[in-house]
Amino acid sequence: PHPRCFQESGSWFLTTTPLVRSVSVDLNNDASLVIDIPDALCERDKVKFTVHTKTTLSSFQKPEFSVPRQHEEFIWLHDTIVETEEYAGLIIPPAPPKPDFEGPREKMHKLGEGESSMTKEEYAKMKQELEAEYLAVFKKTVQVHEVFLQRLSSHPIFRKDRNFQIFLEYDQDLSVRRKNAKEMFGGFFKNMVKSADEVLISGVKEVDEFFEQEKTFLLDYSSKIKDASAKAEKMTRSHKNVADDYNHISGALNSTAADNNTAFKKHLEKYAEVFEKLRKLEDRVASDQELKLTELLRYYTRDIQAAKDLLYRRARALADNENSNKALDKARLKGKDIAQAEENQKQCLQKFDKLSESGKKELTSFKARRVVAFRKNLIEMTELEIKHAKVRRLKCCVYHYMFTRQCSGSHGKPGNMREF
Amino acid sequence: MSCMKRLCHETRSHDRLRRTLAVCLRLSRRLLLKMSEERDAAALSGSAQTEGEEDLFVSAMESPEAARLSAEDISPSSNGPKAEPMLLDDDPDDLFAEATEEVSLDSPERQPILSDGPSPVITPVTPVMISSRADVFDRSPDQDEDEEENRDTFDIQISVSDPEKVGDGMNAYMVYKVLTKTSLSIFSRDEVCVKRRFSDFLGLHSKLASKYMHMGYIVPPAPEKSIVGMTKVKVGKEDLSSVEFVEKRRSALERYLLRTVKHPALLKDPDVLQFLESSELPRAVSTQALSGAGILRMVNKAADAVNKMTIKMNESDAWFEEKQQQFENLDVQLRKLHASVESLVCHRKELSVNTASFAKSAAMLGNSEDHTALSRALSQLAEVEEKIDQLHQDQACADFYLISELLGDYVRLITAVKGVFDQRMKTWAKCQDAQVMLQRKREAEAKLQHANKPDKLQQAKDEIREWEGKVQQGERDFEQISKNIRREVGRFEKDRVKDFRVVIIKYLESLVHTQQQMIKYWEAFLPEAKAIA
């Protein structure tokens, strides 16, 4: 099933038939709440996702409904969940990154500028490439927004979140304000605190071996996966550059053929065809590698960060717990406010225990989820690589045969190059 | 050749001779001689010598009965040289129709071609052709030319190898082993091995250019000098870039020699034979850039450029005008194409580097991963990517040595072709100058008629005779160079089809090979990925 993308009056409309989302697996198993993004619309800078819900839960007003949502509204949802104290012991699904149409937009600009200097064929070809690029960016951004929602819907606690319901159901604009200066500053401050947290995590004495191991693992893994994700991106970029070069070579061969009127002309046109085929195949390799490998690594870089955030919160709770113990001892010593201190200590301990318990569960299922996703994607990527290599080999063999056949004695036959 | 039969039915009432000659023309794969290259007449390959063709032509005129060829007579050639690309036209009918148009024996362009014998400087393989004229009509002329082709491309193999550094410091130079294997009789031995340095190659080219260019022969250009490249080698850096430089040069020198001997006239040239065979070669000092000869060359080049601008030739022959324009266009196009391929090489190398970098990163990630099976799979992935990096490197080499260098060679060749057209212009200018001079002498003589100076008058008459001779010589030279250029251009056009095809075939082979390896590597990895549990 392929997404279809067509243009209506300057905007891009994407419909997707249900694609298997492979970045996180088995997210739509529970039929009681099924969410997907069947289509999206890109108007100028804004992308409007159609969020479609099917549910048997009574908490919703209707069994099936769709709402349009923009990226900012996803971010609002993510932030409200992060800020919910109750969810401190859970891994919060990472926010989807902003849709980035910068690349195709630049190309579109160039296309518009250079329209007069291009031949009709060149223009049509570039337009086609542009559409393909838009489609690729579209696919990626839809996938990543969809997975975010599906992570929430498949989690026993998040799916019951009131804001999540509003997000899915409320058919008016959520009027998500742009963050004002105070909030932005607040966010910055939060980040600062977070990096202090990292010191905190490493500094805090860990009694629980499970968490000790997780901490060591996550701290190391997060830097490694970030690096791998960046390197995979560079590799994909190089593939795209090679495909681009094949494209230019094909074009240059065609131009040379156009100026020629000897036997050479037909050969050049054939060679141009070869390079055009090579280009298409290289493009496919690049985009498949991107979806299966680069996107996978990018996603899990974000997810690992979410897991780390959980550790921070727990470490904070541990620190709070220790502080409350100290405060209680102090109060007992002073003989003042003992009840308050006891209450405080009890609450801190409760919180810490709750966080530890749910944290353990979350981190264990996180690992399982990660392993499954890697397995699926690595298998799919390998199968695609094999497929593409076989196709490329076949095509090259065909052309090779074609060109060598002209050499060997086909005397006596009024061969027709067209028949090839 | 059923289409030939078709032609016989479809052509209008031409006399039998013309029809047969048209067929001959088609089969003999005429190289040039066309006024306008509307169709790909030169699609037909084979390195038939013009002279041989003319003989064919002439003999056909004399014995039309012997020239009766029909489809049945043409037996498929049994030769099997892979380098023999026989192209088949996609529109034989048109070709035949056009061929019959061409065959106007009375056309003025034909006459000089028919009447001229082989030029004394060139000693092509025609003696064989002429003697076997009787055979020619029994078997396919294709076969004959293929054999010639055989002789040219298969009976001589040249390799340039084993670069060795001689000397130290700034006086150091590389010496290459030049091995020639051949069964051609002009060579004294079957196998000759000599040692040559770069300036020897330049010297050879310089000699050939001075001998043949002014006659309109396209002399293959020698590889370019590179002060930067050579300095690194001299200084003794054994790094990758100087190794690559030496390999690039070695390959270029080999291609240069192969192209030179492919030229039927140059193959017989004594300087070429001496280069390939004699163990000692006088050092070509005049090739140094800053030598006296080098400076003289630069001055001459500048003078030529100025002359080119001032000579306004009345082109009576549209063929030349058209061809020149075509070569101008081709020059631009090939340069652009070359630039694109260089970009491909560059990006492929980048891909290789990035793949290696990713491989390392994946290995680190695998080490960090605490799930055992996944950890192992990631390490395996890293290994696969490392192997693929090597494949990318190999492919980049193929990209470069096959395609990029071919295009580079052709860009330089086109410069040589354009040079040959310039030589024709110069010859024409010389002819014009001689005519002007003659006119002046005649005018002077006319004046002296009334001056009553008998001895001066005699001198004037002598001078007139002298310049009449020069004018005649100039016209002959011009005709000769025009004829040579037509033939050379035809040969060039035929060769380029062959050259490009050979390269593309090899390139496709390299691609098939890398894909084969890739399939192997990924198929080995797949079970590892599936084993993640």
Q: Which residues contact B117 (CB under 8 A, 6 or more apart)?
A: B51
Is the CB of B500 less than 8 angstroms away from the CB of A397? Answer: no
Q: Is B443 among the domain residues? A: yes
User: Which of A220, A239, A242 to substitute to test the interface with B, most B CBs within 10 Å?
Assistant: A242
Residue B7 confidence (pLDDT) above 60? no
CA-nearest residue to B78 within chain A is: A409
Residues A238 and A387 both lie in one domain: yes
Which pair of structure tokens corresponds to residue A297?
A: 């690594």
Kindly report whether the global pTM for this prediction surpasses the value 0.80: no
Distances (CA, A) of A15 to A36, A39, A68: 12, 4, 14
Contact list in A for residue B520 (CB cut-off 8 A) is none
For position B528, which CATH number holds? 1.20.1270.60
User: Is pLDDT of A259 > 60?
Assistant: yes
Size of interface A-B (CB pairs under 8 A): 231
**Is A191 domain-assigned?**
no
Residue A367, pLDDT score: 92
Q: For residue A292, give the nearest of A366, A389, A373 by alpha carbon.
A: A373
Is residue A179 in a domain?
no
**B11, part of any domain:** no
CATH number, position A392 = 1.20.1270.60
Q: What is the pLDDT of residues B113-129, one digit of tens each?
A: 333 333 333 333 333 33
Q: A199 pLDDT exceeds 70?
A: no
| Residue A164 and residue A77 in contact, taking contact as beta carbons nearer than 8 Å | yes
A227 within domain boundaries: no
Task: Say if residue A29 is in the same domain as residue A157.
Answer: yes
B365 vs A224, A265, A406: nearest CB:
A224
A213 to chain B, minimum CA–CA distance in Å? 10
Which among A225, A277, A280, A286 has a CA at the least distance from the CA of B355?
Answer: A286
Containing domain of residue B373, as a range? Answer: 332-532
Lowest mean pLDDT among A154-168, A184-198, B262-276, B398-412: A184-198
Which CATH number belongs to the domain containing residue A158 in this structure? 3.30.1520.10
Farthest CA pair distance, chain B:
120
Residue B274 lies in a domain: no
CA atoms within 13 A on the CB side of A92: 25
Within-domain flag for B382: yes
Mean pLDDT of A44-66: 89
Question: Shortest CB distance from B532 goes to which of A227, A266, A371?
Answer: A371
B311 part of a folded domain: no
Q: What is the ipTM of this complex?
A: 0.85
A238 and A376 share one domain: yes
Calculate how close chain A gets to B515, using CA atoms only, in Å.
Answer: 5
Average pLDDT (B163-179) is 87
- Nearest CB neighbour to A392, from listed B330, B360, B511: B511
pLDDT band at A80 (very low <50, low <70, confident <90, very high): very high
Nearest C-alpha of chain B: how many angstroms from A15?
A: 32
List the B156-166 sheet strands across, edge first.
B156-166, B173-182, B191-197
Mean pLDDT of B247-264: 92
- Classify residue A184: in a domain, yes or no: no
How much is the mean pLDDT over chain A?
83
Q: How many domains are there within chain A?
A: 2
- Reported as a pLDDT band with limits 50, 70 and 90, residue B407 is very high
Q: Give yes or no for residue B157 having a pLDDT over 80.
A: yes
Nearest to B40 among A232, A265, A271 (CB): A265
Between CA A357 and CA A90 the distance in angstroms is 10
Domain check: are A117 and A254 in the same one? no
Strand order in the sheet with A4-8: A4-8, A11-15, A33-43, A46-55, A64-70
Domain-located, residue A12: yes
Contact B329 A259 (CB under 8 A): yes
The per-residue pLDDT for range B431-485, each reduced to its tens digit, is: 999 999 999 888 888 888 887 777 888 888 888 898 999 999 999 999 999 999 9
What does each C-alpha distance from B431 to B82, B274, B320, B425 come to in angstroms?
45, 35, 17, 10
Structural domain boundaries enclosing A318: 233-413
Contact check, Cβ <8 Å, A409/B90: no
Which one, of B134, B144, B228, B112, lies nearest residue B483 by Cα? Answer: B112
Q: What is the pLDDT of residues B55-105, one digit of tens each?
A: 333 333 333 333 333 333 333 333 333 333 333 333 333 322 333 333 333
Interatomic CA distance for residues B52 and B58, integer angstroms: 10
Interchain CB distance below 8 Å, B344 and A242: yes
**Structural domain contains residue A40:** yes
Closest-CA distance of chain A to residue B471, Å? 36
Closest Cα in chain A, distance from residue B190 (Å): 28
Which residue, of A173, A203, A221, is where some domain finishes? A173
Judge: A418–B519 Cβ closer than 8 Å, yes or no: no
Asked if B525's CB is within 8 angstroms of A382's CB, the reply is yes
Which of A121, A142, A173 is the C-terminal boundary of a domain? Answer: A173
With respect to residue A181, please indicate whether it lies within any of the assigned structural domains.
no
Angle at CA of residue A326, ends A324 and A332, nearest 5°: 100
- Minimal C-alpha gap between A235 and chain B (Å): 5
Name all contacts of A201-208 with Cβ < 8 Å and 24+ positions apart: A201/A311, A201/A312, A201/A315, A204/A315, A204/A318, A204/A319, A208/A356
Look at residue B156 and tell me whether its pLDDT is greater than 80.
Answer: yes
Answer yes or no: is A305 within a domain. Answer: yes
Q: Give whole-number Cα distances, A221 to A18, A34, A96, A297, in Å.
A: 33, 32, 21, 12
Q: Are residues A101 and A244 in the same domain?
A: no
CB within 8 Å: A385 and B518? yes
Alpha-carbon distance of B219 to B272, in angstroms, equals: 12
Residues A168 and A240 both lie in one domain:
no
Instruction: Tell me the chain B residues in contact with residue A417 when contact means C-beta distances shorter than 8 Å.
Output: 88-90
Query: Which DSSP string do the residues of A366-412 spell out, in sequence order?
Result: HHHHHHHHHHHHHHHHHHHHHHHHHHHHHHHHHHHHHHHHTTS--TT
Per the structure, the count of domains in chain B is 1
